[in-house]
Amino acid sequence: MTDVEIMEKTKSLFGDKIVEMTNPTERRIFIKVEPQNLVPLIAGLRKDLNITYVATISGLDLGESFEILYHFGHDHGSLTVRTQIPRANPHVESICSVIPGAVFYERELQDMFGLIVDHIPDARPLVVPDDWPANNFPLRKDWKYERPPEIIPGGKK
């Protein structure tokens, strides 16, 4: 199915849930939804359009809100579903009930951005070390790393 066909079908099935749908380059479709419509839309995509393969889940720090992008791949290109959640209350629903393989990406989102993914099957931190101090979320724009001054033992500074 080409881009146009996919966009037509999605609009006819889920038109009420979609806020915006764009097709900037060939084989790339971007759909924007509200957070509460996220899981129903993804379940619908899986059931009706057979789009089941989530490539990755990216997070963006936009200052006042976080934007989460769910990148799906299918036989003729890729489709991205994006949603925005407020920084003060960063909760998003887990899609693992629809696609179990997304758990690793959601765990990474939790570590890196400090979002809270509700109903995630496995809430352990994924990539940060075991003694990482709490409330340190490296990929937020306001988290800077200060490199400690280099000390050469027995040498000049």
Partner 1 sequence: MKFTIPIGPQHPALKEPISLRMTVDGEFIRDADIRLGYNHRGLEKLAEEKTWIQNIYLTERICGICSHSHSTCYVQGVEKLMEITPPKRGNYIRYLVSELERIHSHLLWLGVAGHEAGFDSFFMYTWRDREVVMDILEMISGNRVHYAINTLGGVRRNLDEMQVKKSLEGMEILKKRSEYYFKIGVNEPTFVARLAGVGYLSKQQAIDLCAVGPTARASDIPRDVRRDDPHAVYDEVPFDVCTADTCDVLGRVVVRVKELMESYKICDFLLRNLPAGDIAVKAPRKAKPNEFLSRYEAPRGENTHYIKSNGSDKPERLKVRAPTLANYAATVEMLKNGFIADIPLIFAAIDPCICCAERTVELINGRTGAEKIVRFSELRKLAEDRFKKLPPKRNAVWPL
Q: Does 92 bind partner 1 (CB under 8 A)?
A: no
Which of 40, 49, 73, 87 contacts partner 1 by CB under 8 A? Answer: 73
* Helix, strand, coil tally for the chain in percent (to 5): 25, 30, 45
The residue range among 4-12, 36-44, 84-92, 132-140 that interacts with partner 1, by the rule CB under 8 A, is 132-140
Judged by beta carbon, residue 86 or residue 121, the one nearer partner 1 is 121
Label residues 107-143 b or e (16+ Cβ within 10 Å = b): bbbbbbbbbebeebeeeeeeeeeeeeeeeebeeeeee
Contact between 126 and 108 (Cβ < 8 Å): yes
CB of 16 to partner 1, least distance (A): 26
CB of 129 to partner 1, least distance (A): 5
Nearer to partner 1, 11 or 143 (CB): 143
CA distance 25 to 9: 19
* Cβ pair 107, 92 in contact under 8 A: no
Interacting residues toward partner 1 by CB under 8 A:
24-25, 27-28, 52-56, 58-60, 69, 71, 73-78, 80, 99-105, 111-112, 121-124, 126-129, 131-133, 136, 138-139, 145, 147-148
